[in-house]
Amino acid sequence: MSIIPTPETIAAGQERAIARAISWVENQHPSALELLEQLQGRTPVIGITGPPGAGKSSLVNALALHWSSQNLKTAIVAVDPSSPFNLGSLLGDRLRMPGLFLDSNVYIRSVSARGSLGGLCASIIEICDVLKHAQFDHIIIETVGVGQSEIEIAGIADTTVVVTVPESGDEVQTLKSGIMEIADIFVVNKSDREGAEAFANHLKKLAHYRMGNGAWESPVVNTVAMEGTGIQALSEAIEKHQQQGISNDRKETLLADKVLRLVQRHRMQDLSIPSIKNN
């Protein structure tokens, strides 16, 4: 039987209604806008970003399990690379989160980047609106690992966690990296590797240098996600940042850019591209 999502079924946490509502949003269903206009919610959004291979999925897995043990409900949006031909997801981040499949306190949705270059997907704002209405305690967005240009998450997340590893680069490269400028919290994952402490100390100096006259100095948390090491400290750092209620001065600029692209998408949706056929 087909499920028609409503504000009531989404607020009740019915997973099939939530899943269908997100599909409506992704595929620009005619009823999606009317549904979105009825939704509301203030669930904090945590962005997990960083270069490929940093262990973002493992960190998300460990963090969600930690919150689940406290009976807190977490929604995870895992943005995957997409096929350039059918726009479908290539990797399926859920395959890298085996501990969460049967956890009733965790909802996971993999979405395709569909050609977006900022590490997210075009409908991420609307997807978050659906999940906020579903009254989760936390919403995690794990971005595509695309490197230094992956800063769009700072316009969506209330707290942005940048995940690194000890081999992430020398001091000059780190200072140049745009992605490092958006971190509310730095994580040095796989910190059982050689050089982890030295790299963490460098990040602490960088965080202090970036703080300027601001009220928040980005903490550096050492983790070994596969072993659950440092996850409690990361959870506490996220909670502390959200309690500060710090505004992100880059958020307006990034959101304005997002609005421009949404308008472009809306204006171009009636245009058709002729199929290319082999001669």
Computed over its alpha carbons, how large is the radius of gyration of the chain? 19
pLDDT at position 264 over 50 = yes
Strand segments, DSSP code E, in 43-173 are: 45-49, 74-80, 106-112, 138-142, 159-164
pLDDT at position 251 over 80 = no
Query: Which of helix, strand or coil describes residue 54?
Result: coil
Q: Which residue has the tokens 């940048």?
A: 162
Q: What is the mean pLDDT of residues 124-143?
A: 93
- Among the listed ranges 154-158, 161-165, 234-238, which one has the minimum average pLDDT value? 154-158
Q: In 10 A of CB 34, how many CB atoms? A: 10
Contact 47, 161 (CB under 8 A): yes
- Nearest Cα neighbor of 230 from 184, 167, 168, 187 is 187
pLDDT at position 86 over 80 = no
List domains and CATH numbers for the chain. 1-39 (no CATH), 42-161+226-259 (3.40.50.300)
Measure Cα distances from 92 to 15, 112, 122, 144 in Å.
19, 9, 18, 11
Distance of alpha carbon 232 from alpha carbon 252, whole angstroms: 31
- Nearest Cα neighbor of 150 from 59, 54, 86 is 54
Q: What pLDDT score does 120 carry? A: 64
pLDDT at position 155 over 90 = no
**Phi, psi angles (nearest 5°) of residue 139:** -120, 125
Distance of alpha carbon 194 from alpha carbon 179, whole angstroms: 23
Q: What pLDDT score does 52 carry? A: 81
Q: pLDDT tens for residues 1-54?
A: 568 899 999 999 999 999 999 999 988 888 998 999 999 998 999 999 888 888
User: Average pLDDT, whole number, for the chain?
Assistant: 80
Confidence of residue 224 (pLDDT cuts 50, 70, 90): very high
Tokens of 133: 């209405």
Q: What pLDDT score does 87 carry? A: 46
pLDDT at position 97 over 70 = no
- Among the listed ranges 3-17, 116-130, 162-176, 187-201, which one has the minimum average pLDDT value? 162-176
**Phi, psi angles (nearest 5°) of residue 143:** -85, 165
Q: What pLDDT score does 88 carry? A: 44
Confidence of residue 209 (pLDDT cuts 50, 70, 90): confident
pLDDT at position 63 over 70 = yes
Give the contacts of 208 (CB within 8 A, at least 6 positions apart): 217
Highest averaged pLDDT of the listed ranges 119-123, 137-141, 196-200:
137-141
Distance of alpha carbon 95 from alpha carbon 91, whole angstroms: 8
Distance of alpha carbon 138 from alpha carbon 14, whole angstroms: 17
Contact 81, 121 (CB under 8 A): no
Give the side-chain half-sphere CA count within 13 A for 23: 11
Distance of alpha carbon 241 from alpha carbon 259, whole angstroms: 26
Confidence of residue 265 (pLDDT cuts 50, 70, 90): low
